[in-house]
Amino acid sequence: MAVQFVAHRGESEAAPENTLESFTLAWARGARVIEGDFHLTLDGEVVCMHDSNAGRTCGVKRELAELTLAEIKALDAGAWKGPQWRFTRVPTLAEVLRTMPDYGEIYIELKSVGPIVDRLREIFAASGCRPEQLTFIAFDETTISAVKRLFPAHRAYWLTCNEREDRGFLYTPDELAAKLRSLGVDGIDLLESKATPEYVETLHKAGFSFHVWTVDQPERAKTLIDLGVDSITSNRAYALRQELNA
């Protein structure tokens, strides 16, 4: 199958990240996969924002877990991107899923499990989306392993940089394959600079899919496509596809 280009937080180079405007622009530009980050509010709703704090994108330094949905909906999530985006709102997961075409897929990044799980089940059931449209990603090992056990029909990929300060690569290719097996996940979503032919080949042979983030330059994207990665997450997914005729 041809490599998939994943619109990172939507078409986030062109529109405010993690907003309906960014996601709908991605679909309009031909995206087949989007990616977003999700948190639980004080009153139990799931909202789309990368940070746990609204300060960076909304100018209000409050934790999402301490705010109700109504309070979050009053925030301006677009003014930081430019005056034309003023009054852009923070969407809920349900709202994001309603933008998805029948062929679409979303990478749902979670920071933790716990109370969010029951609400996810309710949202998924109401959305009408198929399990193959709703893929989980997470950096935290416990989170990604738990969410795969809780939602076994859905794909789950471990997000990782595969590095630590005292020792270059943390896992060799074979060790990384063993790690993914221990987590019970379907694949890896790796920092693009850590992708090498050996890693891609070893993980594919072990039965895992191989995904990379975040790639905005066509030369690097071409190299990764030649390595055989399954998806490339980009802030400018549409432009990359145009530049690579992909």
Neighbours of 76 (CB within 10 A): 17
Please state, in angstroms and rounded to a whole number, the distance separating the CA atoms of residues 127 and 165.
42
Residue owning tokens 């899919």: 209
What φ, ψ does residue 127 adopt, rounded to 5°?
-75, -30
- Give the domains, in start order, of the chain with CATH numbers: 4-37+105-244 (3.20.20.190)
pLDDT value for 1: 58
Above pLDDT 90, what percent of the chain? 96
- Of the pLDDT bands very low, low, confident and very high (cuts 50, 70, 90), residue 121 is very high
pLDDT value for 163: 87
Above pLDDT 70, what percent of the chain? 99
Q: What is the Cα 55 distance to its own chain's centre? A: 21
pLDDT value for 235: 98
Please state, in angstroms and rounded to a whole number, the distance separating the CA atoms of residues 80 and 86.
8
Measured over the CA atoms of residue 80, residue 82, residue 85 and residue 86, the dihedral's sign is positive
Instruction: Give the mean pLDDT of the chain.
Output: 97
Neighbours of 62 (CB within 10 A): 14
Q: Are strands 4-8 and 231-234 parallel, antiparallel or unpaired?
A: parallel
Give the pLDDT confidence of 194-223 residue by residue, as tens digits: 999 999 999 999 999 999 999 999 999 999
pLDDT value for 164: 76
pLDDT value for 11: 98
- Of the pLDDT bands very low, low, confident and very high (cuts 50, 70, 90), residue 246 is confident
Residue owning tokens 């994108």: 57
Query: For every residue of the chain, which 3-state class applies, written as one string?
Result: CCCEEEEECCCCCCCCCCCHHHHHHHHHCCCCEEEEEEEECCCCCEEECCCCECHHHHCCCCEHHHCCHHHHHCCCCCHHHCHHHCCCCCCEHHHHHHCCCCCCEEEEEECCCCCHHHHHHHHHHHHCCCHHHEEEEECCHHHHHHHHHHCCCCCEEEEECCECCCCCECCCHHHHHHHHHHHCCCEEEEEHHHCCHHHHHHHHHCCCEEEEECCCCHHHHHHHHHHCCCEEEECCHHHHHHHHCC
Taking residues 177-193, report their average pLDDT: 98
Taking residues 2-14, report their average pLDDT: 97
Q: Is the pLDDT of residue 50 over 80?
A: yes
Please state at what angle helix 218-227 crosses helix 237-244, rounded to 10 degrees.
70
Taking residues 41-61, report their average pLDDT: 98
22-36, 56-70, 131-145, 155-169: which has the minimum mean pLDDT? 155-169
Give the pLDDT confidence of 75-109 residue by residue, as tens digits: 999 999 999 999 999 999 999 999 999 999 999 99
